[in-house]
Amino acid sequence: MPHVMIIGGSDAGISAAIRAREVDGAAEVSVVLADDFPNYSICGLPFFLSGEVPDWHRLAHRTRADIEREGVRLLTGHTAQAVDPARKVVTVKAKGEPLELTYDRLILATGASPVRPRIGGLDLPGVYPLRFMADSFAVQRHLDERAPRAAVIVGGGYIGLGMADALTQRGLAVTVVEHGPSVMKTVDVSLGDAVRAELERHGVETVGGVAVKSVTEEGGRLVVRAEGFERGADLVLVAVGARPVTDLALSAGVETGPRGAIHVNRHMETNMAGIYAAGDCAETWHRLLGEYTYLPLGSTAHKQGRVAGENAVGGQREFAGSLGTQVVKVFDLAVARTGLNDAEARGAGFDPLTVETTAWHHKAYYPGAHELRLRVTGDRASGRLLGAQMVGHKDAEVAKRIDIFAAALSCGLAVGDLEDLDLSYAPPFGSPWDAVQVSGQAWTKAAFQGRVAHEDREETQ
Amino acid sequence: MPHVMIIGGSDAGISAAIRAREVDGAAEVSVVLADDFPNYSICGLPFFLSGEVPDWHRLAHRTRADIEREGVRLLTGHTAQAVDPARKVVTVKAKGEPLELTYDRLILATGASPVRPRIGGLDLPGVYPLRFMADSFAVQRHLDERAPRAAVIVGGGYIGLGMADALTQRGLAVTVVEHGPSVMKTVDVSLGDAVRAELERHGVETVGGVAVKSVTEEGGRLVVRAEGFERGADLVLVAVGARPVTDLALSAGVETGPRGAIHVNRHMETNMAGIYAAGDCAETWHRLLGEYTYLPLGSTAHKQGRVAGENAVGGQREFAGSLGTQVVKVFDLAVARTGLNDAEARGAGFDPLTVETTAWHHKAYYPGAHELRLRVTGDRASGRLLGAQMVGHKDAEVAKRIDIFAAALSCGLAVGDLEDLDLSYAPPFGSPWDAVQVSGQAWTKAAFQGRVAHEDREETQ
């Protein structure tokens, strides 16, 4: 009866635990977690703070009872302090007391923590990161007790923009400050600009190309400053990315990769026998790049955890890999991407072409048609599909359309194969050529014209 | 300068024409069509009749001007009467006058006509089929001038149910009479029953297992009768399927297949050199069955037309094939399918298992979550995905989720591969494991349990 111990009770850890029990009903499975919130959906925090999900308990993917019903032992309030791989012992602290726990297999699912940028004053009251349940309780308390009227959000990524949406719903005047030229730098600037327009339509001020230097308290208010920029605020959120939490792994002698994430193989094994890692603390195999990268995403954490859990009880499952597929809602827009953008594809040795198209999400004559903006990236030489980005109304099936691209990418399809997919059609849901296919046809046309132009140039030389 | 002549101006014909001109800008391309409505979306007729699309002109995929701008000659009001393949001449009748038109390549896109069941009284005033623009004008006139209060719809398929929705919106009391046990026999009975419940929730009476015998006029009303069934009505619609229109093809010596559709190869060529066929008049290559079948769908007509048009001007494109992917809106539900159901899979020599699952369309905690019902069919022996069916709220991204299955089917994925797809996740749009993946996991579990049970049986024998 192997004892599988998992450090970390978020998506990867709980997925690993459940899967281990599912595959081997005789396995003893324990999850050590520092707080009291196993399996909470951190992607859901903005919706709790906006008021759309009034009861934070509902943010749990599974309740404590759900997890325990699967035969998983939950050690909440236990902070793992050290791993001794020779003795197979984890030292934890529970209620101030140190405790030694033995294991046969160990899964590190220690997650990520918010990047702390070099900005003065981050410890001032009223300045918050947003990653853990405790952060969201602190922000909620601030909102309830201090009734802030203006917020500055440092960082225009997924969490920053989700919170811009949430705080606007709570009645705050919001400014988003972003280092890059537009917001949402995971998509190309033209789509980022569409997101920025949506933010501004809802009264959110966006300021690009600004590196925040300091937050100070002046006359009972916070002041955020950068070169040529100054805004007063009653609340400041800092959301500029995440980095893997690996102290425990390093203490045990587990190797980490370039971005500091735990190095794993496709079985989610670390360099040390019997120690696995999964989720935001670990590297991710990228299906298109064919290499390990750092791409912390909730959906990936679930998948990696499941693989690690299965293998920890003797399985031989491989993690298929990530395409970096993601979607976010910003007010009435959905913004999504999968695969590589132009620069990433070029960096990986492809000869990419990216083509932007607009297409209706369903037949224009049927009431409620929205225009989608799609950007398709493919390899000129082989015609292979490399990636797609999309922005459109939140009701325009953007997420599942990006997933059609994701499925196509997983299968290594060419851009030209998209039009051959037998997709569903009815006027309220699509067109005889779906927007996905229209964007593929536009890419093929542009690639062909590019080749012709290139040949013409060659001929005249 | 080849002259491509196309008979039929609906989806397949116009797609062929546009594509021929796109590939060969020097080609002379003419489309002969009997009525004045090129490229009209017949799938849109219910939305015109419901009042959702008040102006029927908007139902055109492209306007006459759009088509002519591509350099296509439109011969509206021209009825093709005979083809003489030896002389490469089509005889047409225009304004009562016969006319001979020559061609180099001919594309038959003559479409389908409504099946006329053996029911007495189909020619009575107030009894209509629904396939062509003229049909919808006749029904519209009947609705406007006669203000009918009750309708009987014979046939519970896509058009019948679309019209049940439309006529209910127009204030009529509607009864749907269906030969089969439930409605929407393109999906399994459990999903058909969900559709029936939705119809009844909106006041539509549904009667299954009834073969209508006659419609009669009695005391100024229509009466629809079957064994043990009788309903009065002010309007009767008959929508029991479509059959290929092939008179012209047969007159020219073109071969047809088992269901009477024009036999074509993957290049959309008929048995006669230089004569192509596409759309509802022609056979369809089925990607999973690996054989030709009759599956008249608008999306397929566009694809086949495009292939025929390209090849008619010298191309060598192959039609990739159909999966029978389809979706329809019935009141607040979307009903969709792709690939094979259990019986079809068994007929094709597979050893199918079909598993039904329910899953939320996005995180249950985010407001507006709807439950989806999914049925996944896979092959027990190989694990290969064979088909999927889905019913859910019209806003629950059913159509694009069935398209994820369609993409997976096109690539020959196993059911077990679905969980490896890197699909997008954000709480308003999905779950870390999308409903598509949850249904795949449920199938895998059931298949495994089935194998274990089977082995247990073998051991005890």
Residue A360 in contact with partner chain B when CB distance is under 8 A? no
Q: What is the pLDDT of residues B229-253, one digit of tens each?
A: 999 999 999 999 999 999 999 999 9
Question: Greater confidence, A1 or B378?
Answer: B378
Look at residue A356 and tell me whether its pLDDT is greater than 90.
yes
Query: What angle, rounded to 10 degrees, do the helices at B189-201 and B158-169 form?
Result: 10
Chain B nearest-CA distance from A404, in A, is 5
- All residues of chain B having their beta carbon less than 8 Å from the beta carbon of residue A52 are 366-367
> Which residue, among B207, B201, B203, B155, has the nearest Cα to B181 in the 3D structure?
B207
Residue A419 in contact with partner chain B when CB distance is under 8 A? yes
- Test the A interface: residue of B403, B410, B415, B436 with most A CBs within 10 Å: B403
> Which residue, among B373, B361, B433, has the nearest Cα to A41 in the 3D structure?
B433
Q: Which residue of chain A comes nearest to B339, CA vs CA?
A: A422
- Segment B360-376 mean pLDDT: 97
Residue B438 has, within 13 A of its CA and on its CB side, a CA count of: 21
> Does B397 sit within 8 Å of A367, measured CB to CB?
no
> Does A44 sit within 8 Å of B329, measured CB to CB?
no
Q: Which residue of A47, A59, A402 is in closest CB contact with B424?
A: A402
- Segment A228-257 mean pLDDT: 96
Residue B392 host element (H or E): strand B385-393
**How far, in Å, CA of A433 to CA of B216, rounded?**
43
Catalytic residue among A43, A122, A189, A421: A43
- All residues of chain B having their beta carbon less than 8 Å from the beta carbon of residue A395 are 395
ipTM over 0.85? The verdict is yes
> Does B407 sit within 8 Å of A424, measured CB to CB?
no
Residue B394 falls in which region: left (phi positive, over 0), alpha (psi -120 to 50) or beta: alpha
Look at residue A459 and tell me whether its pLDDT is greater than 70.
no
- Test the B interface: residue of A293, A403, A419, A444 with most B CBs within 10 Å: A403
- CB–CB of A28/A71 below 8 Å? no
- Segment A266-294 mean pLDDT: 97
> Which residue, among B138, B140, B197, has the nearest Cα to B166 in the 3D structure?
B140
Q: How confident is the model at residue A455 (pLDDT cuts 50, 70, 90)?
A: confident
Neighbours of B93 (CB within 10 A): 14
How many residues would you count in chain A? Answer: 461
- All residues of chain B having their beta carbon less than 8 Å from the beta carbon of residue A44 are 363, 365-366, 427
Q: Which residue of chain B comes nearest to A365, CA vs CA?
A: B58
Q: What percent of chain A has pLDDT over 70?
A: 99
Helix (H), strand (E), coil (C) string for chain A? CCEEEEECCCHHHHHHHHHHHHHCCCCEEEEECCCCCCCECHHHHHHHHHCCCCCHHHHECCCHHHHHHCCEEEECCEEEEEEECCCCEEEEEECCEEEEEECCEEEECCCEEECCCCCECCCCCCEECCCCHHHHHHHHHHHHHHCCCEEEEECCCHHHHHHHHHHHHCCCEEEEECCCCCCCCCCCHHHHHHHHHHHHHCCCEEECCCCEEEEEEECCEEEEEECCEEEEECEEEECCCEEECCHHHHHHCCCECCCCCECCCCCCECCCCCEEECHHHECEEECCCCEEECCCCHHHHHHHHHHHHHHHCCCCCCCCCECCCEEEEECCEEEEEEECCHHHHHHCCCCEEEEEEEEECCCCCCCCCCEEEEEEEEECCCCEEEEEEEEEECCCCHHHHHHHHHHHHHCCCEHHHHHHCCCCCCCCCCCCCCHHHHHHHHHHHHHHHHHHHHHHHHHHC
Q: What is the pLDDT of residues A13-27, one digit of tens each?
A: 999 999 999 999 999
- Segment B55-73 mean pLDDT: 95
- Segment A247-266 mean pLDDT: 95
Residue B430 in contact with partner chain A when CB distance is under 8 A? yes
Residue A57 in contact with partner chain B when CB distance is under 8 A? no
pLDDT at B181: 86
- Segment B45-72 mean pLDDT: 95
- All residues of chain A having their beta carbon less than 8 Å from the beta carbon of residue B424 are 299, 325-327, 336, 338, 399-400, 402-403, 406
**How far, in Å, CA of B370 to CA of A332, rounded?**
19
> Which residue, among B42, B17, B180, B175, has the nearest Cα to B109 in the 3D structure?
B17
Q: What is the pLDDT of residues A322-341, one digit of tens each?
A: 999 999 999 999 999 999 99
Residue A59 in contact with partner chain B when CB distance is under 8 A? yes
- Segment A403-426 mean pLDDT: 98
- The letter for the amino acid at A275 is I
> Could you give the 3-state DSSP secondary structure of residue B262?
strand
Structure tokens at B187: 């999906």
Average of per-residue pLDDT values in chain A: 95
> Does B397 sit within 8 Å of A299, measured CB to CB?
no
- All residues of chain A having their beta carbon less than 8 Å from the beta carbon of residue B363 are 41, 44
pLDDT at B460: 60
Q: What is the pLDDT of residues B389-409, one digit of tens each?
A: 999 999 999 999 999 999 999
**How far, in Å, CA of B270 to CA of B254, rounded?**
7
What are the E-state strand segments in B275-370? 275-277, 284-286, 291-293, 326-330, 333-339, 352-360
Residue B398 host element (H or E): helix B398-410
pLDDT at B288: 97
pLDDT at A181: 86
In B147-284, where does DSSP find H-type helix? 158-169, 189-201, 247-252
Structure tokens at A350: 């492809």
- All residues of chain A having their beta carbon less than 8 Å from the beta carbon of residue B66 are none
Residue A414 in contact with partner chain B when CB distance is under 8 A? no
Residue B414 in contact with partner chain A when CB distance is under 8 A? no
**How far, in Å, CA of B31 to CA of B70, rounded?**
12
Look at residue B456 and tell me whether its pLDDT is greater than 80.
no
> Could you give the 3-state DSSP secondary structure of residue B72?
strand
Residue A138 in contact with partner chain B when CB distance is under 8 A? no
Residue B17 host element (H or E): helix B11-23
Residue A303 in contact with partner chain B when CB distance is under 8 A? yes
- The number of angstroms, rounded, from the C-alpha of B423 to the middle of its chain's C-alpha atoms is 28
- Test the B interface: residue of A50, A57, A165, A422 with most B CBs within 10 Å: A422
Q: Which residue of B53, B301, B336 is in closest CB contact with A424?
A: B336
Q: Which residue of B11, B323, B436 is in closest CB contact with A422?
A: B323
pLDDT at B459: 62
The question of whether A43 is a catalytic residue gets the answer yes
Q: How confident is the model at residue B293 (pLDDT cuts 50, 70, 90)?
A: very high
- All residues of chain A having their beta carbon less than 8 Å from the beta carbon of residue B301 are 432
Residue B200 in contact with partner chain A when CB distance is under 8 A? no
> Does B338 sit within 8 Å of A422, measured CB to CB?
yes
> Does B432 sit within 8 Å of A61, measured CB to CB?
yes
* B 254-283 → A contacts, CB under 8 A: none
Size of interface A-B (CB pairs under 8 A): 221
Residue B403 in contact with partner chain A when CB distance is under 8 A? yes
pLDDT at B451: 81
- All residues of chain B having their beta carbon less than 8 Å from the beta carbon of residue A11 are 432
Q: How confident is the model at residue B461 (pLDDT cuts 50, 70, 90)?
A: low
Q: Which residue of A44, A364, A365 is in closest CB contact with B363?
A: A44
- All residues of chain A having their beta carbon less than 8 Å from the beta carbon of residue B367 are 52-53
Residue B448 in contact with partner chain A when CB distance is under 8 A? no
Active-site annotation of B, residues: 43
**How far, in Å, CA of A38 to CA of A56, rounded?**
13
For strand B385-393 and strand B371-379, is the pairing parallel, antiparallel, or unpaired?
A: antiparallel
> Does A59 sit within 8 Å of B432, measured CB to CB?
no
pLDDT at A41: 86
Neighbours of A274 (CB within 10 A): 16
CB burial readout A231-244, b (16+ within 10 A) else e: bebbbbbbbbebbb
Residue B407 in contact with partner chain A when CB distance is under 8 A? yes
- Based on its alpha-carbon atoms, the radius of gyration of chain B, rounded to whole angstroms, reads 24
Q: What is the pLDDT of residues B322-367, one digit of tens each?
A: 999 999 999 999 999 999 999 999 999 999 999 999 999 999 999 9
> Does B299 sit within 8 Å of A399, measured CB to CB?
no
> Which residue, among A96, A204, A229, A220, has the nearest Cα to A153 in the 3D structure?
A204
> Does A327 sit within 8 Å of B424, measured CB to CB?
yes
- The number of angstroms, rounded, from the C-alpha of B169 to the middle of its chain's C-alpha atoms is 23
Q: What is the pLDDT of residues A88-131, one digit of tens each?
A: 999 999 988 999 999 999 999 999 999 999 999 999 999 999 98
- All residues of chain A having their beta carbon less than 8 Å from the beta carbon of residue B417 are 320, 410
Residue A329 has, within 13 A of its CA and on its CB side, a CA count of: 22
- The number of angstroms, rounded, from the C-alpha of A335 to the middle of its chain's C-alpha atoms is 13
**Cα dihedral B13→B14→B16→B21 (10° resolution):** 140
**How far, in Å, CA of B165 to CA of A428, rounded?**
13
- All residues of chain A having their beta carbon less than 8 Å from the beta carbon of residue B434 are 403
Q: How confident is the model at residue B182 (pLDDT cuts 50, 70, 90)?
A: confident
**How far, in Å, CA of B435 to CA of B418, rounded?**
10
- All residues of chain B having their beta carbon less than 8 Å from the beta carbon of residue A338 are 422, 424
Distance in Å from the first CA to the final CA of chain A: 74
- Test the B interface: residue of A287, A295, A400 with most B CBs within 10 Å: A400
> Could you give the 3-state DSSP secondary structure of residue B25?
coil
Q: List C-alpha distances in Å: A441 to B173, B406, B407.
A: 45, 19, 17
> Does A407 sit within 8 Å of B44, measured CB to CB?
no
Residue B181 in contact with partner chain A when CB distance is under 8 A? no
Q: Alpha-carbon torsion A225, A229, A231, A237, what sign?
A: negative
* B 69-128 → A contacts, CB under 8 A: none
**How far, in Å, CA of B336 to CA of B157, rounded?**
12
Look at residue A457 and tell me whether its pLDDT is greater than 90.
no
